[in-house]
Each structure stands twice: as structure tokens, then as C-alpha cells.
Structure 1
């Protein structure tokens, strides 16, 4: 039976602590167990093909790509004795992959401890969407310091609500902020703290859509913008802007084609005047009117991006398990990591 690597990947993701890069590494390690390759050349080719197939099936392959590329590079550079049997070599690769994932799950705690020195008593922090490493950092800081948190709602998935519920249940004062109210709240915060899908070779950040606008506003307000990223999310790619990301397609935020009208007909107004409006529905500038908020359709939401790209000049520091790095430092670390 042919090994289904995407099914293996999805199965590993059912663990709430497992991020896409680590799930990708475990899926590739599982593929090695099921491989019929008889040489290292054949195994490496199978790994690369499986990684590409996995990326194509994933709706958001960015973080997954970082993990797959890391494991393929590790496999390619893995030292082995020429007298060693190929079966033993394969077992070692699997064991090293599984051991790395086990160790990598501790990286969030390392980042939380490293970040603690930058979080002062009575800090007011703005975060975005939901991030496991950000959650662990805030909960760790709450043990010894007084902090308060603003969290964006993070449309369209609304994951800011999950962050809000977890923080308030831990006793941390937290308020949800409309995505459109980030500039409004920026003067109240001491710094911004966001997670990451990936940190690329330029030192730029790929994260949940809305991160870029938070960074732009923070820069204008002279507030630090910190990114938290485990080193397995360091990705050797070099996008110049959001449109270079693999998640961007021609339909992303594309304008619809104008409707054709028969000759001689004029366009109808988009909003028709209402007649005989009851007095209860007439609003004065200072009155409060009950209304039902409109919602976006599934098709409209699908046209919006899931992630965006934040330029390195907007990022103050990247906190990682390998240290607190400037964006330039991330680039240097990546070169060394893939150079063996």
C-alpha cells in the first residue's frame, strides 16, 4: 500500500502542541520507515518528492515548508560510516527526526524565559491572533510580573477570542481589540508581541494577516515590535513583499469583473432610498441604534489572505530558542544552519 504522507501529516497535527513544521518532520520520518529505497540517493529523492507533494496539498505551506526543508537538509548532510548498513542508517535518521521534534517542543519554554527580561512590571502588551509561543510567554511572565494584554480579534478566523479566553482564565487582564482599532489602542501599549508562521532569510516575518499593519503602526508610534519564533520556523526563502508568498494567488483580493449592461440602460443605485421609515428606525448623530452586523460570505472570506509579510526594518527583535536576534542575525543564523 502506498504511504499517504498527507494523512500522516494531518494525524500529527491533531496534537494541539504540534505546529506544522514539526508535524511535517514527523511525517517525513514516518515516510522513511515505510520507504523501499535501497540507497541514500533514492531515499533523498523520495524525501524531496514527498516534501513537495505535502506542500502542494497544504492550504498554507509556509510553516510546513520550513520544517520539511530543514529535515531534508539534515538528511542530506547526515554523516555516516561507509561500512554502516543502509537499514541502520535509515533507523538513525528516523530516531534523530523524532528526537529533534521531542526537543523542539521545549523551545517555547526557552523563548518564554528569554523574553522575560524584556517584560517589565505593569507592562501593557498588544498581541495578534493566537500563538502557542506567545501564550506560553505571557503565562510565564504572569507568574512573576503584573501584565495586561490587548489582543486583536484577528478576522476572519477570530482566533483572538481563543487568546482572550485563555488569558482571562489565567487571571491576566485582557481586552479584545477590533482589527480596525489597532491604531486607536497603540498609544496605550508598551510593545507588540506576535508569533510567527516563519521568519525568512531577510529577517522578515510571515504571520497571520494583520501582523504587517500592526508593525507599521507600531513603527509610526515608536513602539517596539517583537516576534517570537522557534528556530525550526526559520525559512530559507527571500520574499520581497506579501505578493511573493506561496499563499498569494490571482484570486486573492481580486476585484470582480464589471457587470455588462444593455445599451441605453443606466446603473441602478447601490442603495435605494427608504420610504415610510418608522420613527424608531430614525437615528440622530448621538443616538444608539440596534442593528444586526453584516457578515462576509465564505466566498468573500476565501478571497482574503491568511498571512502577510512584515519587512525586517519594522521588527525590533526576534526572540528564539537560539537567542534574541536582530533581523540581520536571523539571516546569518540561517546561512550557517544550512551550510552544515
Structure 2
């Protein structure tokens, strides 16, 4: 599988299932890549997978989300080599890796429903909720809460530049949930009306902060000023080993699409697509492995990666 085939397979996975996370699509692509390729050693396999990850992060999907999911798979490769033993042979090692990878893929695919069950009790009937952009996890939570807890009112930021909030509004309307679309600039005015903020995330970093759609940091700052809780719903495979101190620490490959980076000389004139929200602005993280405070994230990262 060459670079073109790898990218084409990844894009096809996303095209076939609009609800699939880029991270899960990347893991699925890497497992297919491993299945089709031949390797003589674990080192060769690992290096080939690292090269494949670099290719996938150079697509126009969320680079940091793709990288976080792929790093989890790299951990599986290392553990599989240890489980298989040095004398088992490469084919046996590959067989175990693909088996473990499918188990991981299955768990990752079920993460949203687990998060919805965990978060549902925190969405009481009659709540006024602010959400940003279109998050598949947040949508799943609101869907379950609507059935189990009763009615509530959701304010959705339109989320420029792609206006993904419009799509979120349409999905909520289909579920019969009362929804109001607001301008991104109206966050400060609307924040007084809401009981809490519910966000998704592209990644959770080592500090306990999150990287998410541009505008998330502004929402966090407004919520902090008005003492509104900020809840984040995110899959554990989006926990990433990265420690930014501020938005200037976020590399360009995370801020912009690859097509923008490769075609535009002066990125100063381009709007970043994501921003970093500090852990001090967040209240709780709802994940498929439990509910955490931002300060507990570093401990969970150690458990996930070691």
C-alpha cells in the first residue's frame, strides 16, 4: 500500500461513514496497512507505521485527533511484541497485533455510547445548555439525555468559518430538542442565560486542557468569568502526549489544514481552525473510562501509555 493508496483508503473510510471520528478512521486504515504489508522485524513494522502516520496527518482531517489515535496503536504494537515473545516469529506477532487492534477499534467505536451513559445524569431536565460547533459525542449525550431526562434548551454557536453549528442545529431539531443558533460573537451575552457549557474536543493534552474548534477558548473564558461549569465530552483515545502552555505552542500542522500549509506562504493571514483551552477553564471531562477533573488527566495518560 503506497502513499496514494493509504490516503485514498483513509478518505474512503470517512466518506462511507460521516459519523466516524478521524482518529478511528486512521486506526482502521493503519490496521489495513499492517494486514497488507510484509515485515521482517517488529522494528521495521513500527517504523513503517510511523511513516504511515505521517502520511495520514498530512490530510485535511484533524491532524491532532489522527495522531492521538495512532499513538495508541503504536503502544499496542510495542505491547504485542512483548506478548508474542521474541521467538514467536513475525507472522505470529502480526496476527496478535491485528487481533488486538480489532479489539481496540471495537472499543473505540463504542466510546460515544459509553460517554453518553456517564454524562446523562449531569444533563437535568429544564437545563439551558451552550454547545459549540458540531460534536458527535455531545450530540450522542444530548440524544440520550432527551430520552431519559426530559426537555432542555440548547444554544448552539454557529462556529465559523465552516458554520458547523448549523449542522448541529439541524441534528438537534430532528431529535425534537429546543435549539437556538447564535452568533459566535454572542457568547458573552448568551452565557448569562445558560446553566453550563458542554463541549467536545479534538484532543486532551497532558496539562488537562483541550484542543478544539476555534472559539472554544473564548467560551471557556466567558464561562469562567460568570462561574458557569464547563463540561468536556471526549473519547480516551484522544488523550495525547503533548504539553502546550498557550496557543502559541500549538504547531501549524494542528492549526491549519495541510492543503493550506502547502499552498499558502504567509499563514499570518489565515485563521487557525483550533485553539487551546487551559485546564483552569474546565470543570469536568466525561470520557469512556470515567469522569475526571482536568488535574487527573496526567495520571490517566500514564496509565494509557505505559
- Name the TM-score, length of structure 2 as normaliser: 0.91
* Pair 1:321 & 2:288 matched: yes
Name the counterpart of 1:73: 75
What is the SS of the residue equivalent to 1:331?
helix
What is the SS of the residue equivalent to 1:206?
strand
Compute the RMSD of aligned alpha carbons: 1.6
Aligned partners of 1:57 and 1:141: how far apart in 2?
A: 35
| Deviation readout 1:186-230 (Å, 9 max, x if unpaired) | 010000001010001111111110011000000001000111100
Name the counterpart of 1:200: 205
Aligned partners of 1:313 and 1:111: how far apart in 2?
A: 22
1:243-322 equivalences under 5 Å are 243-246=248-251, 247-248=254-255, 251-254=266-269, 303-322=270-289
Name the counterpart of 2:258: none
* Pair 1:105 & 2:106 matched: no
1:142-291 equivalences under 5 Å are 142-144=146-148, 145-246=150-251, 247-248=254-255, 251-254=266-269
Q: Per-residue deviation at 1:241?
A: 1.4
What is the SS of the residue equivalent to 1:71?
helix
Please identify which structure carries the higher helix content: 2
Name the counterpart of 2:2: 2
1:7-46 equivalences under 5 Å are 7-14=8-15, 15-46=17-48
Verify the 8 A CA contact 1:253 1:305 in the aligned structure 2: no
Aligned partners of 1:251 and 1:308: how far apart in 2?
A: 19
Q: Per-residue deviation at 1:151?
A: 0.2
Q: Per-residue deviation at 1:96?
A: 1.8
* Greater Rg by CA: 1
Q: Per-residue deviation at 1:56?
A: 3.1
Aligned partners of 2:128 and 2:220: how far apart in 1?
A: 16
Aligned partners of 2:13 and 2:238: how far apart in 1?
A: 17
Name the counterpart of 1:279: none
1:94 to 94, 98, 103: 98
Aligned partners of 1:55 and 1:65: how far apart in 2?
A: 7
| Deviation readout 1:45-100 (Å, 9 max, x if unpaired) | 11112112322344641100101111112101222134423212212212221231
Q: How many residues align?
A: 291
| Runs of 4+ residues deviating >4 angstroms | none
Verify the 8 A CA contact 2:84 2:92 in the aligned structure 1: no
Q: Which runs of 5+ in 2 are unaligned?
A: 256-260
